[in-house]
Structure 1
């Protein structure tokens, strides 16, 4: 799991409250494909319970699991940047309870309230940096001749 206990803790209280006003609770049974790579990113989630594998298609190989997300973690950041398409896929590996957000509504909120926008953007940017580092390490572990030499747990 990420070193950030919860993305919400990285936001100002005002931003957290404004963001949570745009959420509702959803569930995904284990095995549910939540989203697919290259499809439109119209929602995002904060996981309250359960786990989700992030994966990517690797031609000539089975999909590679890049990361596993759990409590407090942001599921999906592609909603924030044009063209608003997923960079990875996601599958619930254990039953998931999550807060779901409508991406267009949150983008509008961030545009209307610049302080909220800065807080949300900063928190999401930290997630992106963490995920890129994890993805790089995982791909090296999977495909480099001798791996990256860094265990996945230490890459995050």
Structure 2
């Protein structure tokens, strides 16, 4: 298994400074819903402390946790891709402190500095690939456990 990629560490220091200049501090109390699947994705966060659960609504009564995020992790990537809607929901599993970024401001910065933009998008792609790999592993594990119990 590969090590999790942390968004701010993929940027060289000068680019990281330009990006973090756009950040504002935000916090969420435990159990706060940060965003809901289908909502407008116009920002993203880097977690400074605490834990966040990504979830998916299965039916009107049931949600399933699909991933857990912690310190240094990127929260939110749907702001990069039309139709700019959240694919999952997110809830603070504990009190959470973050750096919050306005998507429009970050996209303007990426247009002004294409090198930063390319590095940022590659970093996010690496993060998404890692999360997909982790999810695939979890699904295979669940499938194997299910097959064993069915025998």
TM-score, normalization by structure 2:
0.87
- Residue 81 of structure 1 and its aligned partner are, at CA, apart by 1.1
Alignment of 1:20-35 (within 5 A): 20-35=20-35
Query: Which blocks of at least 5 consecutive residues in structure 2 are unaligned?
Result: none
Aligned to 2:50: 50
SS in 2 for 1:14: helix
Q: Which residue of 2 aligns with 1:95?
A: 95
- 1:133 is displaced (CA, Å) by 2.4
Aligned equivalent of 1:136: 136
Tell me the equivalent position of 1:41.
Answer: 41
Match of 1:146 in 2: 145
Name the SS for the 2:82 alignment partner. Answer: coil
Larger CA Rg, structure 1 vs 2: 2
> Which residue does 1:120 correspond to in 2?
120
Is the CA contact 1:45–1:76 (under 8 Å) kept in the aligned structure 2?
Answer: yes
For residues 8-28 of structure 1, the C-alpha deviation after alignment (integer angstroms, 9 at most, x for no partner) is 111122221111011011110
Q: What is the DSSP-based 3-state SS (H/G/I as helix, E as strand, rest coil) of the residue aligned with 2:50?
A: strand
Return the offset for 1:135.
Answer: 3.1
Cα distance, 1:132 vs structure 2: 2.0
C-alpha RMSD over aligned residues: 2.3
Unpaired runs of 5+ residues, structure 1, are: 150-156
Offset, 1:43 = 0.9
User: Does 2:15 correspond to 1:15?
Assistant: yes
Superposition TM-score, scaled by structure 1 size = 0.84
